[in-house]
Chains A and B, each alone.
Chain A
Amino acid sequence: MANVTFRTDLCKGCGLCVSACPRGIIKLAKDKINKKGHNPAEITDREKCIGCACCATMCPDCVITVEK
């Protein structure tokens, strides 16, 4: 199973990972605010992640690490 981790404090909530995810399992956490004052991206359903790294590829802030 793939494992995706977000360095949440670096996230600027731009949402490019959300659009990039082919499984539609990333969203901006509307109920959370990180140190920078953004709603950070988070994964909603880890089981569905295929580790394609599309999210990390489009992330401008090196927030995401992908392991397989």
Chain B
Amino acid sequence: MGNKVLMKGNEAIAESAIRAGCRHYFGYPITPQTEVAAYMAKRMPKIGGTFLQAESEIAAINMVYGVAATGRRVMTSSSSPGISLKQEGISYIAGSDLPCLIVNVQRGGPGLGGIQPSQSDYFQATKGGGHGDYRLIVLAPSSVQEMADMTALAFDLADKYLMPVMLLADGTIGQMMEPVELPEAREPQFTEKDWAVTGTKMRRAHHIVNSLYLVPEELEKKNFERFERYARIEREEARFESFMMEDAEYCVVAFGIAARVSKNAVTAARREGLKVGMIRPVTLWPFPSAALAEAAKTVKGFLSVELSMGQMIEDVKLAVSCSRPVSLCRRAGGMIPSPDEVLTKIREMAGGYER
């Protein structure tokens, strides 16, 4: 313990996944996440695992579906356009109640977009992405350390709730190098699960992994059961970081790389005497709505800082029931706001809403 190594964010994901007992990785090259695949290609054959470069992101996510159906830990990673391709498979995995990890190291969009960092897949990650009523648990790391920690957490949450978990990173955190303390290595678990396909061994009735229910009453029941599970997750798994919020009169809301920039801006604002704090959603779904609603009781306004045209801001407004003004600091297309830009917005918010 206490041993830090210098790693790229993408590599930290890969190593942490292996340490979490994941022995199956399927992917397709796309910038800026390819280091995950490259790392897996090197390591998996040495430890009896599977690395397979699939013919497409669609094939990769369906290979993930296959392994997940057998009850083993499995993951894929991609970046925005590739994640769009995976949506079909993600919907099937969610509809079959299977656990897996999907990593999205976001880049600018829409379309082919660019290869610079972005957070513009927030809607896609948190509001569905594929067809049908389903959720993903969405974790938003803001450091290389969190890339490692949240990868391990993602596998545990996926297994606990039998659903896909998405690690929603961005090109900056994927590419940056930082010292990281890797989680302890765990051996893969091969415990029999009462839903997994492993062969009946002629000792039990056959297991069927499936998302097809032609009788609407049955399909509705499945959806309601799933949403009971989702409700429990919303109650128990919302995570956030609170920064300088004790006496804050204004609250910045930001996740991932935007939160790192915003932290500097908040610190600078404090030096100017502005009572500003920050709430950083760590889980984007479930969104830490309760924390924001609580903050709304005391702060005068919110500022959502995003690497998108403004997506999370909708959840911030919902969380505070529009009881306080919510302004937006945004950059898009691969641009990152500077601490000064955020600070300017903080000043505007503080000045604008001063009684």
**Direct contact between A and B in the complex (CB less than 8 angstroms)?**
no
| B interface residues, Cβ below 8 angstroms from A | none
